Structure 1
């Protein structure tokens, strides 16, 4: 049994790997000197993340392996692991704020996950240069403006989520067809993640003129991509500064509140996370709701080839649209939006990559279209429309599907939309 008096022995590690070396520098730092428990926890999750990156580390496994809890222990009653994980996050932050401030490689433990994530860091001198650039180009101000706007969006998300539990207790939003719809999709015993679009990734992709793949996104090799694509050193550093900050949009914050309410009302275990903080094992083995376009949420790319309506983005001129792979009579081969007047959204329900869970995709040609998709799956009238279109009888399980919605915008909103095509999988 692991304890403060008898720490678990650490096996020799290949320290030539900079990630291993960083993990042990953090564990040996002053932040962990008086907390053997946190140090053991860091090494356990860190080593497990590196040795077996496809393994999903669970709370129960940590409780048994690190803290000596019996195999039969109940994580809903014993909060030790969650408390220690919270302390571990604080100590990791302390290390990089003090002893590790000059580290070029960082590690963190994203909320909603027990796996360690590694990513490049900017040195303190570089950060200072970004904060006080000499005569920055006009694009610098544009990027800073986007950062401020996205920061405000995160604030809205936090304020809205604080009211979520209270509203659920009041029974707000409970609707029979919506409730049944969500239970059939996600009440399968697996944990669910609501994955918000990565707003700053759009800024980064605009600068490098490249749509990032899910593999590139998970590797977080932003510095290498920026070095290859952006010649101006000041702009490159500022672009990296933006992309390393985690932000989402106000529209996603609003959808998170609405969907979180539906989940809470139906007893569904749902964590709201940013796309940046999700891993392949989580998407592969859990339920996920992916919000946003493929550009803003690269995890959507895992499922594009399985769909009939596929997202396409062209760099010059910038345009996003849906390609209809196999058009039926009366359907178009492409559905292209018109800026500020016409938009499209694809709502798709598929199995996860492992086939044991569910994935709900809500992807629009713009932010307003994605909001329409959220309305489609949380509104009683639209769920009834969906069931009638598919010919489902009362109580009949929801099959895998994809629907394409067309929205007509007025003053950058989507007050009305309609179903223009759908497929049953």
Structure 2
């Protein structure tokens, strides 16, 4: 048999320089990504991507955990509850989406940076020559005269046993692989079924009522504020001809498509022309926030309520139990290309009309679109799969808006009764 002896290299290991080349290529690609319009309009996303890339290159994977990222990168307090604070998850979701968009819009890169779903550890795709290991420093020597040389025949039983063991190990590995794939498929099917069940359960009170679902869409008009309480918005005044915004129409189209796919008929009304008789005893969906007086009437008795401060031209959602507020977009602001918008989704039995009502209400128009996505997409509604859909429900959603386009909606507060 040949004897293999490894010798220590006398100079720097070639793989070290190749690894340095890979790091250089990855940092070049990171720099190109951060200069793209998808990232230049944000402060948080470039910081997040740079943080996880540099930590990965330094093999500091202990820092790539949600809680650590929140403390080190976002300045969260040491005792912050990451299960109740989704900011890190929201940022990661947006960075993941923007990386996909970046590579869809560009081409010819030698290096790709990806962020897998459910992980904060990026994956780097680099050219093969930058991944090569150093040439082997092992040398092959002929056996010395004192070494025992075994005949080929003496090794046959050993080879047969080795082959048998190899086949056995391979067979076990294949069985484990098949079992794993089957388990994953079952888990995915159950998860998909669970998500669809949540969607069906959420809408069940409005389906099969024998009446078309009444869709009431908010219209743009000048709000009238109670002079005694500036923060409480009452029904808007009709001081100008009412119009439906493009975003409200987009939210409406999502909901009508969903109802149509389930064979449900519907009627469409604008908020300013809807009469009480149109809603009496009929299931309805109220689309729009501060531009839909019917939705505001119902939310007036809810835990989470919408408000408008006329002096600051500022919108907000208030938790009447804890006093917490989520500040939305400012009316008339045109210089904010990136901001957070919030929405309320509520499904309840309205004592006044005697029918089930779903409210899809954003503080801004982008929030309303995100809320419409939430109530018609099983993947988003699955966030509240633990809620008892036999009860009335109210959810507060957050969405990151870039150039008027809302990102995925995230549930940040819930209430059941």
Q: State TM-score, norm by structure 1.
A: 0.46
Q: State TM-score, norm by structure 2.
A: 0.46
| Bigger Rg, structure 1 or 2 | 2
